[in-house]
Amino acid sequence: MAGNPRIGILSLQGDVREHEHVLQGLGADTLRVRRPAELVEVDALVIPGGESTVIDKLSRSFGLQEPIRQAIRDGMPMLGTCAGLIMLADALTDAAEGQQTFGGLDVRVQRNAFGRQTESFEVALIVPALGAQPVRAAFIRGPVITAVGPGASTLAALPDGRVVAVEQGPLIGISFHPEITGETRFHERLLDSVTSR
Protein backbone atom coordinates (compact mmCIF):
# COMPACT_ATOMS: atom_id res chain seq x y z
CA MET A 1 0.00 0.00 0.00
CA ALA A 2 1.38 3.41 -0.96
CA GLY A 3 1.56 5.94 1.87
CA ASN A 4 -0.05 5.72 5.27
CA PRO A 5 -3.29 3.79 5.67
CA ARG A 6 -6.31 6.06 5.97
CA ILE A 7 -8.60 4.95 8.76
CA GLY A 8 -12.12 6.27 9.04
CA ILE A 9 -13.78 6.83 12.39
CA LEU A 10 -17.55 6.76 12.35
CA SER A 11 -18.28 10.18 13.81
CA LEU A 12 -22.00 10.26 14.42
CA GLN A 13 -21.66 9.99 18.20
CA GLY A 14 -19.16 8.62 20.72
CA ASP A 15 -15.49 8.89 21.67
CA VAL A 16 -14.07 9.84 18.28
CA ARG A 17 -11.08 11.95 19.39
CA GLU A 18 -9.60 9.19 21.54
CA HIS A 19 -9.49 6.81 18.57
CA GLU A 20 -8.00 9.54 16.39
CA HIS A 21 -5.24 10.06 18.93
CA VAL A 22 -4.34 6.34 19.04
CA LEU A 23 -4.41 5.88 15.26
CA GLN A 24 -2.42 9.02 14.50
CA GLY A 25 0.13 7.95 17.11
CA LEU A 26 0.51 4.71 15.15
CA GLY A 27 1.22 6.63 11.94
CA ALA A 28 -2.20 6.32 10.29
CA ASP A 29 -4.08 9.12 8.60
CA THR A 30 -7.62 9.50 9.94
CA LEU A 31 -10.86 10.79 8.51
CA ARG A 32 -14.09 11.42 10.39
CA VAL A 33 -16.83 9.57 8.51
CA ARG A 34 -20.33 11.05 8.57
CA ARG A 35 -21.41 10.51 4.96
CA PRO A 36 -21.15 7.75 2.34
CA ALA A 37 -18.72 9.82 0.24
CA GLU A 38 -16.27 9.81 3.15
CA LEU A 39 -16.59 6.07 3.71
CA VAL A 40 -15.28 5.31 0.21
CA GLU A 41 -12.14 7.32 0.95
CA VAL A 42 -10.91 5.10 3.80
CA ASP A 43 -9.13 1.75 4.03
CA ALA A 44 -10.76 0.69 7.31
CA LEU A 45 -13.35 1.93 9.79
CA VAL A 46 -13.48 2.28 13.57
CA ILE A 47 -16.94 2.25 15.12
CA PRO A 48 -16.45 3.87 18.53
CA GLY A 49 -18.20 3.53 21.83
CA GLY A 50 -21.25 5.65 22.58
CA GLU A 51 -24.95 4.81 22.44
CA SER A 52 -25.71 2.03 19.95
CA THR A 53 -29.33 3.13 19.52
CA VAL A 54 -28.21 6.65 18.61
CA ILE A 55 -25.49 5.39 16.24
CA ASP A 56 -28.08 3.15 14.57
CA LYS A 57 -30.61 5.95 14.07
CA LEU A 58 -28.06 8.48 12.87
CA SER A 59 -26.41 6.01 10.48
CA ARG A 60 -29.78 5.57 8.81
CA SER A 61 -30.51 9.32 8.81
CA PHE A 62 -27.12 10.05 7.21
CA GLY A 63 -27.53 7.29 4.61
CA LEU A 64 -24.61 5.28 6.01
CA GLN A 65 -26.27 2.04 7.09
CA GLU A 66 -26.29 0.26 3.74
CA PRO A 67 -22.88 1.60 2.59
CA ILE A 68 -21.31 0.29 5.81
CA ARG A 69 -23.06 -3.06 5.38
CA GLN A 70 -21.74 -3.22 1.83
CA ALA A 71 -18.22 -2.31 3.00
CA ILE A 72 -18.40 -5.22 5.46
CA ARG A 73 -19.48 -7.56 2.66
CA ASP A 74 -16.61 -6.24 0.55
CA GLY A 75 -14.10 -7.10 3.28
CA MET A 76 -13.24 -3.67 4.69
CA PRO A 77 -11.41 -4.09 8.03
CA MET A 78 -13.35 -2.68 10.98
CA LEU A 79 -12.85 -2.32 14.72
CA GLY A 80 -15.92 -1.90 16.90
CA THR A 81 -15.43 -0.91 20.55
CA CYS A 82 -18.27 -1.14 23.09
CA ALA A 83 -21.26 0.26 21.15
CA GLY A 84 -19.26 -0.48 18.02
CA LEU A 85 -19.28 -4.17 18.94
CA ILE A 86 -23.08 -3.98 19.24
CA MET A 87 -23.28 -2.40 15.79
CA LEU A 88 -21.16 -5.19 14.26
CA ALA A 89 -23.12 -8.02 15.90
CA ASP A 90 -25.47 -10.11 13.80
CA ALA A 91 -27.92 -10.47 16.72
CA LEU A 92 -28.85 -8.71 19.98
CA THR A 93 -30.50 -10.32 22.99
CA ASP A 94 -32.08 -7.08 24.20
CA ALA A 95 -32.42 -4.75 21.23
CA ALA A 96 -34.38 -1.56 21.74
CA GLU A 97 -37.60 -1.43 19.75
CA GLY A 98 -36.72 -1.15 16.07
CA GLN A 99 -32.97 -1.22 16.73
CA GLN A 100 -30.82 -2.47 13.85
CA THR A 101 -27.13 -3.31 13.48
CA PHE A 102 -24.68 -3.36 10.59
CA GLY A 103 -23.93 -7.02 11.29
CA GLY A 104 -20.89 -8.92 10.09
CA LEU A 105 -19.85 -10.67 13.31
CA ASP A 106 -21.44 -14.09 13.88
CA VAL A 107 -22.22 -13.30 17.52
CA ARG A 108 -25.11 -12.46 19.80
CA VAL A 109 -24.55 -9.49 22.12
CA GLN A 110 -26.29 -8.24 25.26
CA ARG A 111 -26.23 -4.47 25.70
CA ASN A 112 -25.24 -2.80 29.00
CA ALA A 113 -24.31 -6.17 30.48
CA PHE A 114 -22.07 -4.66 33.14
CA GLY A 115 -24.61 -2.30 34.69
CA ARG A 116 -24.58 1.46 35.10
CA GLN A 117 -21.70 3.84 34.42
CA THR A 118 -20.98 3.95 38.17
CA GLU A 119 -20.21 0.23 37.96
CA SER A 120 -17.45 0.72 35.40
CA PHE A 121 -14.23 -1.15 36.04
CA GLU A 122 -10.79 -1.97 34.64
CA VAL A 123 -9.25 -5.41 34.42
CA ALA A 124 -6.01 -6.96 33.16
CA LEU A 125 -7.23 -9.14 30.31
CA ILE A 126 -5.30 -11.96 28.70
CA VAL A 127 -5.57 -11.79 24.89
CA PRO A 128 -3.33 -14.58 23.53
CA ALA A 129 -3.49 -13.24 19.95
CA LEU A 130 -1.89 -9.99 21.16
CA GLY A 131 0.97 -11.56 23.11
CA ALA A 132 1.77 -12.33 26.74
CA GLN A 133 1.39 -8.79 28.08
CA PRO A 134 -2.15 -8.37 29.50
CA VAL A 135 -4.50 -5.76 28.04
CA ARG A 136 -5.72 -2.99 30.34
CA ALA A 137 -9.41 -3.13 29.53
CA ALA A 138 -11.85 -0.44 30.69
CA PHE A 139 -15.49 -1.53 30.80
CA ILE A 140 -17.97 1.38 30.79
CA ARG A 141 -21.59 0.18 30.49
CA GLY A 142 -20.18 -2.36 28.09
CA PRO A 143 -21.93 -5.17 26.23
CA VAL A 144 -21.07 -8.83 26.57
CA ILE A 145 -21.00 -11.50 23.87
CA THR A 146 -23.49 -14.18 24.88
CA ALA A 147 -23.01 -16.51 21.90
CA VAL A 148 -20.21 -16.97 19.37
CA GLY A 149 -21.21 -18.65 16.12
CA PRO A 150 -18.93 -20.79 13.95
CA GLY A 151 -17.97 -17.84 11.77
CA ALA A 152 -16.33 -15.89 14.59
CA SER A 153 -13.49 -16.70 16.97
CA THR A 154 -13.03 -15.62 20.58
CA LEU A 155 -10.07 -13.34 21.30
CA ALA A 156 -10.64 -12.84 25.02
CA ALA A 157 -12.94 -13.73 27.91
CA LEU A 158 -13.19 -12.59 31.51
CA PRO A 159 -12.19 -15.07 34.24
CA ASP A 160 -15.87 -15.98 34.68
CA GLY A 161 -16.02 -17.06 31.03
CA ARG A 162 -17.95 -14.12 29.58
CA VAL A 163 -16.62 -13.38 26.10
CA VAL A 164 -15.56 -9.76 25.58
CA ALA A 165 -13.53 -9.79 22.34
CA VAL A 166 -14.05 -11.57 19.02
CA GLU A 167 -12.67 -11.56 15.53
CA GLN A 168 -14.06 -12.64 12.18
CA GLY A 169 -11.81 -12.12 9.18
CA PRO A 170 -11.02 -8.38 9.07
CA LEU A 171 -13.65 -7.52 11.72
CA ILE A 172 -12.77 -7.06 15.40
CA GLY A 173 -15.39 -6.46 18.09
CA ILE A 174 -14.57 -5.74 21.73
CA SER A 175 -16.69 -4.88 24.77
CA PHE A 176 -14.26 -2.39 26.28
CA HIS A 177 -12.36 0.83 25.54
CA PRO A 178 -8.65 0.35 24.70
CA GLU A 179 -8.47 3.91 23.43
CA ILE A 180 -8.81 5.36 26.94
CA THR A 181 -6.26 3.12 28.70
CA GLY A 182 -3.32 3.63 26.35
CA GLU A 183 -3.75 0.17 24.79
CA THR A 184 -2.83 0.26 21.08
CA ARG A 185 -2.64 -3.39 20.03
CA PHE A 186 -6.23 -3.71 18.77
CA HIS A 187 -5.70 -0.65 16.57
CA GLU A 188 -2.39 -2.16 15.42
CA ARG A 189 -4.24 -5.36 14.52
CA LEU A 190 -6.70 -3.30 12.49
CA LEU A 191 -3.83 -1.62 10.65
CA ASP A 192 -2.25 -5.03 10.01
CA SER A 193 -5.52 -6.13 8.37
CA VAL A 194 -5.29 -3.13 6.05
CA THR A 195 -1.69 -3.69 5.03
CA SER A 196 -2.25 -7.41 4.43
CA ARG A 197 -5.21 -6.89 2.05
Q: Could you list the active site residues?
A: 82, 177, 179
Contact in structure between 76 and 70 (CB atoms under 8 Å): no
Read out DSSP for 74-140?
A: TT--EEEETHHHHHHEEEESSPPTT------EEEEEETTTT-SGGG-EEEEE--GGG-SSPEEEEES
> What Rg do the C-alpha atoms of the chain give, in angstroms?
15
